[in-house]
A and B are shown apart, each in its own frame.
Chain A
């Protein structure tokens, strides 16, 4: 008998519907659906997808425990050899669902699990240690390649073959180290590597260091009494009425707002656009988020050189790292053009 697979997909790929059907409770159907067809084709006659489980992305993420329990029961009935979820590409809730289900299946049913998603999918960082996760493109344009890799890895599990390295199989490193025997001793390998490096050849380290994206502290300002200070904030401060309609969460933009001639913020000239915290206090007095009143006084008293006549603002609530980086790079450019010396950045 061939290898038996159960496949998990979301409401969209299951043909149930889009965002309006995201609260769809888990359902099991027999055979394949949506991307399962391509997956089955990649398996050929070596494996069979016995059932497909479809669940709405919001339903899963809002009811993780209940949904996981229901799905586990559905999988258990089939007694599959391997469980496959997704691929989820860059769909965040779908990625989290694939990762969470894989983790539960692996821990509770002791069945090998394979899923796939884009490296920046939040589900990747959350669950890549709990599941074999094929790294996919960020959209379904990469479906064919993703399914081929998922199928190949799932077959290896089903056939009981040894699983290769992350590079050779295409899955994300899980932080697992395995002892292996090498032809040469460590000292020779190290010297060989050094020679390769000296020759300018590419070397592959045996122990990659973790990546910490850190920025060295910038040099301090010599004398703030001569410095031009700018205000930047992720707390969503905006002029009254939020003229650029900065979103209360998952901001797609930042604003640049003039405070020329403004010595104090009040309910007439400022408010917050930020969702997720009680805005009452910021709306009463926006100096509580960006200290314009104090910095203006300090400017008059000569405690700082000057206050830049614009502040830059976005909403930090749920805003992607990529967007934040992009906003900050544009803000930095403007700060350079404005001869700013140092920045006070406030967050709520």
Chain B
């Protein structure tokens, strides 16, 4: 899906936990995330910390979308 959407011209940032799969399918901008059932959270944290964690990951993703790249990059 990442590849097909990028093929249409959009920069796509793939936020996922299993980075090797993302590399194999051909995502170009990759943000490693927390865990398979909760990529953008962590139920072990309190709500404030969990939100802060998510904010950091999203910020990183936005930064990746602004970054010029020439090859697959894990941010």
Binding site for B on A (CB under 8 A): 213-224, 227, 229, 232, 234-235, 277-282, 284-285, 287-291, 293-295, 297-298, 303-304, 314, 324-325, 327-329, 331-333, 335-336, 340-348
Q: In the complex the two chains form, is B28's CB within 8 Å of A217's CB?
A: yes
The answer, among A229, A329, A341, A346, for a CB contact under 8 Å with B15, is A346
Q: In the complex the two chains form, is A217's CB within 8 Å of B5's CB?
A: no
Q: In the complex the two chains form, is B51's CB within 8 Å of A294's CB?
A: yes
Within 8 A of A (CB), among B27-73: 27-29, 33, 36-41, 43, 51, 54-55, 57-58, 61-62, 65-73
Residues of chain B within 8 A (CB-CB) of A298 are 58, 62
How far in angstroms is the closest Cβ of chain B from A330? 9
Q: In the complex the two chains form, is B66's CB within 8 Å of A345's CB?
A: no
Q: Can you sample 5 A-B contacts with CB below 8 Å?
A: A220-B65, A282-B38, A342-B10, A345-B1, A347-B17
Residues of chain A within 8 A (CB-CB) of B62 are 224, 229, 298, 303-304
Residues of chain B within 8 A (CB-CB) of A291 are 40, 54, 57-58
Q: In the complex the two chains form, is A227's CB within 8 Å of B40's CB?
A: no
Q: In the complex the two chains form, is B8's CB within 8 Å of A346's CB?
A: no
Q: In the complex the two chains form, is B38's CB within 8 Å of A295's CB?
A: no
A-B pairs with the 8 shortest C-beta distances? Answer: A288-B41, A328-B4, A332-B8, A217-B28, A347-B16, A328-B1, A288-B38, A218-B11
Residues of chain B within 8 A (CB-CB) of A303 are 62
- Name the residue on A nearest B12 (C-beta): A343
Give the residue among A214, A232, A281, A291 with the most B Cβ atoms within 10 A.
A291
Q: In the complex the two chains form, is A284's CB within 8 Å of B43's CB?
A: yes
- Name the residue on B nearest A340 (C-beta): B10
Residues of chain B within 8 A (CB-CB) of A217 are 6, 11, 28-29, 69-73
Please measure, in the bound complex, the distance between the C-alpha atom of A109 and the C-alpha atom of B68, giving whole angstroms. 55
The answer, among B8, B41, B65, B69, for a CB contact under 8 Å with A224, is B65
Residues of chain B within 8 A (CB-CB) of A279 are 37
Please measure, in the bound complex, the distance between the C-alpha atom of A288 and the C-alpha atom of B2, giving whole angstroms. 19
Q: Known contacts A217-B29, A344-B15, A348-B17: does B41 contact A287 (CB below 8 Å)? A: yes
Residues of chain A within 8 A (CB-CB) of B67 are 220
Residues of chain A within 8 A (CB-CB) of B57 are 291
Residues of chain A within 8 A (CB-CB) of B7 are 215, 332
Binding site for A on B (CB under 8 A): 1-18, 22, 26-29, 33, 36-41, 43, 51, 54-55, 57-58, 61-62, 65-73
Q: In the complex the two chains form, is A345's CB within 8 Å of B13's CB?
A: yes
Given contacts A332-B5, A345-B1, 4 further A-B contacts (CB under 8 A): A213-B3, A215-B26, A219-B68, A346-B40
The answer, among A213, A288, A295, for a CB contact under 8 Å with B39, is A288
Please measure, in the bound complex, the distance between the C-alpha atom of A290 and the C-alpha atom of B12, giving whole angstroms. 14
Q: In the complex the two chains form, is B4's CB within 8 Å of A345's CB?
A: no
Q: Known contacts A215-B26, A217-B70: does B8 contact A336 (CB below 8 Å)? A: yes
How far in angstroms is the closest Cβ of chain B from A216? 8
Q: In the complex the two chains form, is B5's CB within 8 Å of A328's CB?
A: yes
Q: In the complex the two chains form, is B58's CB within 8 Å of A215's CB?
A: no
How far in angstroms is the closest Cβ of chain A from B22? 7
Give the residue among A216, A217, A341 with the most B Cβ atoms within 10 A.
A217
Q: In the complex the two chains form, is A329's CB within 8 Å of B8's CB?
A: yes
Residues of chain A within 8 A (CB-CB) of B71 are 217
Please measure, in the bound complex, the distance between the C-alpha atom of A346 and the C-alpha atom of B34, giving whole angstroms. 12
Q: In the complex the two chains form, is B40's CB within 8 Å of A288's CB?
A: yes
Residues of chain A within 8 A (CB-CB) of B16 are 346-348
How far in angstroms is the closest Cβ of chain A from B42? 8
